[in-house]
Amino acid sequence: MLFEEASERILIVADFHIGFEHELAESGIYIPSQTPKMLSKLLSVIDEYKPNVLVFLGDVKQAIPKISLEEWRDIPGFFESVLKVVENISVVVGNHDGDLEPLIPSQVRMVPSGGMLVGGKRRVGLFHGHAWPSQDVLAADVLVMSHIHPVVRFYDKYGFSIVRQVWVKARCDGSVLAGAYLKRLKVKLGDVSSREVFREKFGCSVSDPELIIVPAFNDLLGGLAVNRAGGRLIGPVLRSGCVDLGSSELYFLDGSYVGALGRVQSHF
């Protein structure tokens, strides 16, 4: 995802899960390291779009809570190569990123799971999605998360299926979002609206933000089939009920419009 604001061109990528091959090997599935392939792909994207800011939206690594030998081998060199072409790099911590800091160069900024804001006139809040974002991120005009590796699964009449990665664009109900966050903090609303209480307590206002869910950069990972998910939603923002997934728009990686999720669910 590329976001442009004044002099900044911000490239947002997510869910590399470097070292995932080690877990597959433990299950008897052996594939070579995909890190060189992903690095080459990322460098090609950088060369095409010329960002001056790069944000990794969580889950750079795979092992929880340890660091695998594959991660020690691959991650430092991966970041050193990327730093040669983009100097301003941030990593928003995902649920797989425990103990990531020793693996990355000191120039790379580590951002807590609460996320970060970019943009000026139109504020964009970036967070991984496994944990609640911070209050200022929740108050952004656009929310961008990853974590669920969104895909669609299509079946033919014989029961065979294909899976394609997708972008998801949805609208959030700010009242429900603010209310769910306040409930987590055990804040009682009384007769006051959740938006008002949120504004009084944190000094910022929750609108009805647009939500964009970023597909995984690593295309060998599994994902959540959003057209078959039913009630299996992952992460506090999606589980809060604030997101109207039924009318969300789905896009393939090349930008082709798939359709509204409700129609995709009913036709496949």
Q: What is the sign of the dihedral through the CA atoms of 47, 51, 55 and 57? A: negative
- What is the pLDDT at residue 268? 53
In a domain, 174, yes or no: no
Question: Rounded mean pLDDT of 162-178?
Answer: 95
* Residue 66 confidence (pLDDT): 86
User: What average pLDDT does the segment 18-42 reach?
Assistant: 91
7 lies in a domain? yes
Say if residue 266's pLDDT is above 70: no
Q: Is the pLDDT of residue 15 over 90?
A: yes
Average pLDDT over residues 109-138: 95
- Tally of domains in the chain: 1
**Statement: residue 124 has pLDDT above 70:** yes
- The answer to the question of residue 82 being in a domain is yes
Following CA atoms 194, 213, 260, 122 in sequence, which dihedral angle do they give, to the nearest 10 degrees?
A: 60
Enter the pTM of the model: 0.93
For 140-165, what is the mean pLDDT? 91
pLDDT for res 231: 59
pLDDT tens profile 193-249: 999 999 999 999 999 999 999 999 999 988 889 988 665 778 999 999 999 888 899
239 falls within a domain: no
Task: Identify the CA nearest to 90 among candidates 102, 78, 77, 79.
Answer: 79
Does residue 33 sit within a domain? Answer: yes
Tell me if 240 is assigned to some domain.
no
CATH at 25: 3.60.21.10
Question: What are the residues whose beta carbons fall under 8 Å from the beta carbon of 166, sequence distance 6 or more?
Answer: 150, 151, 152, 215, 226, 250, 251, 252, 253, 258
89 is a domain residue: yes
Domain assignment of residue 170, yes or no: no
The parent domain of residue 60 ranges over 1-112
